[in-house]
Amino acid sequence: MDAIDILMNEHRHIERVIDVLERSVAYGRGGGDVSPVLFERAAHFLLTFVDGSHDAKEGEVFQAITSRGLPLGEGVLAALSGQHVLGRELAEELREMVRAVMRGEKEREEMYALAERYVRLHRGHTEVEEGRFFPLVRRLLPVDVMERVRAKFARIEAAHGSLAEAADALELAFPLPATAPRWVNGGRTHQPWGGRGAP
């Protein structure tokens, strides 16, 4: 498994959290009671494991590319770095928004809209990385450089903990809800997440 395999594998784990976030927005908008704690935990995951761990690992790849003076077509690297910054800002905004919702100062819809923006950004970003950036990295970086990058990944992972386990924990704490809450339980709104807090 090389550095790019590790990043691709992390994308699959991050997507599980993104899916939980997306479905929780749909569930909440459909009248389901979604605890803001879910959004708080998701924001924490996005900041600690996406920004702090995954994006930091990709930063090492960016660094390896730029330090070798390698050309990257159409400013793809600059665009991806910019999206990392935007993703961090959105996740911070989401965390603050959740706190405001919990204090009763903001409407849940504002929290849903922010989460939705993050989901959209992340999906488009991942598509560009996997479709354009990663194949380019594999062509441009020699095996020994890829190995050094992978060693740096291990140090980042050790500092933050396992991204995969964090995704597991979040998914387990907030199982995906039914898509149409008003028809569940014979017409009564079933609330699988209502009142389920942090462990």
User: Which span (41-49, 54-62, 113-121, 148-156) binds Fe ion, by CB under 5 A?
Assistant: 54-62
C-beta of residue 176 within 8 angstroms of C-beta of residue 23: yes
On whether the CB atoms of residues 25 and 109 are closer than 8 A, the answer is no
Cβ partners under 8 Å of residue 167, min gap 6: 13, 14, 16, 17, 45, 49
Name the residue nearer to Fe ion (CB basis): 58 or 157: 58
Question: By rule CB under 5 A, what count of residues binds Fe ion?
Answer: 2
In this complex, which beta carbon is closest to Fe ion, that of residue 22 or of residue 129?
129
C-beta of 58 vs 60, nearer to Fe ion: 58
Q: Which stretch binds Fe ion (CB under 5 A): 55-63, 66-74, 91-99, 115-123?
A: 55-63
Exposure b/e, 149-177, CB count within 10 A at least 16 = b: bbebbeebbeebeebbebbeebeebbeeb
Of 41-49, 52-60, 66-74, 134-142, the segment contacting Fe ion by CB under 5 A is 52-60
Told to check if 58 binds Fe ion by CB under 5 A, we report yes
Interactions with Fe ion, residue window 111-130 (CB under 5 A): 129
Is 40 a binding residue for Fe ion by CB under 5 A? The answer is no
User: Token pair 């020699």 is at which residue?
Assistant: 142
Cβ–Cβ < 8 Å for 22, 175? no
Give contact residues for Fe ion (rule: CB under 5 A). 58, 129
